[in-house]
Amino acid sequence: MSQGPERRGIHVDQSELLCRKGCGFYGNVAWQGLCSKCWREEYQQTRHKQIQEDHALADRLQMEETAAYANNHQGAAQPAAIAPLSKFDERKTKEKSRKVNTVTKFFTPSAKIPPKKDSVPGEAQSTTSPSVSRKPLETDRTTREFIDFLKTLKPGREIFKQCRAFTESMACKRDLGADELSECVQDFYQNLSDRLQTHFKGSSERVESVMDEVERYMMTRLYDEVFCPETTDDEKKDLAVQKRIRALHWVTIEMLCVPVDEEIPEVSDNVVKAITDVIEMDSKRVPRDKLICITRCSKHIFNAIKTTKKEAASADDFLPTLIYIVLKANPPRLQSNIQYITRFCNPSRLMSGEDGYYFTNLCCAVAFIEKLDGQSLNLSTEEFELHMSGQASPQRPQAARSPPGSAAFSEMNERLDLLTGLGVRQEHVMEGAHCLESDLIDWRDGVEHKVQDVLERFPLEMHPPASSAIDADNMENDLPPPLQPQLFAG
């Protein structure tokens, strides 16, 4: 394909992908440019500061109330005023220790149900609550696979028990906000990871493999409760992004300066696979599986660029191509999937490695699409607004000056125009169908009204039939005399 003389609009320095605190891990737009570790530390500090301020305010109000009560009631009335305040102190102490108890109770053996000597992790599955047991077949399969994996580990029984207890407790926290749910899950990940680091004596690979299986088991069971929860505006953001991408359908590969030639069959095949992978992300329930889809999509993009340029792709080539793929695919529930991965994925996957790098680029691509303007596409503001309103359409320079061998590209344009015409015809058919339905309803109502009017004007009267004797019509006729018996002489 022909490429412009200079790169236009789209460029992200690799340092901008890293955490803005300089820790070396990848940052995230959802975390204000911080990595998951720095974001949790800052979130916890902010939350702790807020709790301290609330406690200070409560102490001040308590002192003022005590002083006011002491001035108004002297002597015997004073002890009675201290009792309700002591209950307030008790509630304040419980609030301080709530977070610690939430985490530590998952690692404390239950005293209500003593473990059987001959029990195995698989037997514990039958004691799950009804709300957790009514899950799809995928959940049951994941549970069996998790149990089989834990059988090879010495602490497998304890890991399964704690994971099951945590998932059951999370089912009772649906009213919590998304940040609070994420904090609970991330705390559990962190504590379990620390325990596994001690058990495996610092073997990070084994710890990661166990944590991947823990994430798969837990998030498969919790998916319905924590994906796009009602307490967030994720669904609203999904609709806004989809509408934005549909409005940008006119953006061409030349405007984004994408170094990909789709006329090459191998390149076209990689582009189709990349689009398929980013769409398939929504069908996965586990954050790790969604990341795998993003990684596969990104590798197909790198292959397409390498095939086109006959050399290794650079980061400056990758981001505009990823933006182009997202615009072509318009993945369903894109923001919900990004937020789901951000909140509930194993944090080590997002902070480093190729999964974290590709996911960070996807977040940048979505942010770029949301803020896309004419300057990014080397268009004037007036031209950009005309394209967005549909009053102008981009020219296709490749089709105009394409050699005789580019019949495939021309055929693709013809099919796009045909699809556009079919869309218009479908809208007309739907309008006609709605009009026909409305006419049928009006006709039925009119017929019913006319029938009712006729029945009211000419009511049907039913008369019983008159009773009559047999041969009533022949009463006046001359009938022959009755037969008389006759005697004959012998």
pLDDT at 106 over 60: no
Task: CATH number of the domain at 285, please.
Answer: 1.20.1050.80
User: Shortest CA distance to 106 belongs to which of 47, 175, 178, 158?
Assistant: 158
Question: Of 179-188, 373-382, 394-403, where does mean pLDDT reach its minimum?
Answer: 394-403
Assigned domain for 99 exists: no
pTM reported for the whole predicted model = 0.60
Q: Give the per-residue pLDDT at 362.
A: 94
Assigned domain for 394 exists: no
Q: Give the per-residue pLDDT at 472.
A: 56
Map the chain to HEC letters. CCCCCCCCCCCCCHHHHECCCCCCCECEHHHCCECHHHHHHHHHHHHHHHHHHHHHHHHHHHHHHHHHHHHHCCCCHHHHHHHHHHHHHHHHHHHHHHHHHHHHHHHCCCCCCCCCCCCCCCHHHHHCCHHHHCCCHHHHHHHHHHHHHHCCCCCHHHHHHHHHHHHHHHCCCCCCCHHHHHHHHHHHHHHHHHHHHHHCCCCHHHHHHHHHHHHHHHHHHHHHHHCCCCCCCHHHHHHHHHHHHHHCCCCCCCCCCCCCCCCCHHHHHHHHHHHHHHHHHHHCCCHHHHHHHHHHHHHHHHHHHHHHHCCCCCHHHHHHHHHHHHHHHCCCCHHHHHHHHHHHCCHHHHHCHHHHHHHHHHHHHHHHHHCCCCHHHCCCHHHHHHHHHCCCCCCCHHHHCCCCCCHHHHHHHHHHHHHHHHHHHHHHHHHHHHHHHHHHHHHHHHHHHHHHHHHHHCCCCCCCCCCCCCCHHHCCCCCCCCCCCCCCCC
Picking from 371, 389, 407, the residue at the C-terminal end of a domain is: 389
Picking from 332, 356, 389, the residue at the C-terminal end of a domain is: 389
Assigned domain for 385 exists: yes
User: Shortest CA distance to 304 belongs to which of 294, 318, 315?
Assistant: 318
- Does one domain contain both 331 and 222? no
- Does one domain contain both 214 and 247? no
- Does one domain contain both 245 and 280? yes
* Integer angstrom CA distances of residue 454 from 399, 444, 446, 451, 461: 69, 16, 12, 5, 14
Q: Is 18 left (phi over 0), alpha (psi -120 to 50) or beta?
A: beta
Of 260 and 49, which is predicted with more confidence?
Answer: 260
Picking from 389, 407, 434, the residue at the C-terminal end of a domain is: 389
Using a 10 angstrom Cβ sphere, with 0-12 exposed, 13-18 middle and 19 or more buried, the burial of residue 188 is buried
Q: Give the per-residue pLDDT at 185.
A: 92
- Does one domain contain both 217 and 260? no
pLDDT tier at 34, thresholds 50, 70, 90? low
- Does one domain contain both 253 and 339? yes
Q: Give the per-residue pLDDT at 133.
A: 42
pLDDT in tens, 386-413: 888 877 777 655 444 444 445 666 677 7
**Rounded Cα gap, residues 452 and 431, in angstroms:** 32
**Rounded Cα gap, residues 180 and 210, in angstroms:** 24
Task: CATH number of the domain at 150, please.
Answer: 1.10.246.120
Assigned domain for 97 exists: no
Assigned domain for 303 exists: yes
Assigned domain for 251 exists: yes
Q: Give the per-residue pLDDT at 170.
A: 87
Assigned domain for 296 exists: yes
pLDDT at 156 over 60: yes
How many domains is the chain partitioned into structurally? 2
Query: Which range of residues forms the domain containing residue 173?
Result: 136-226
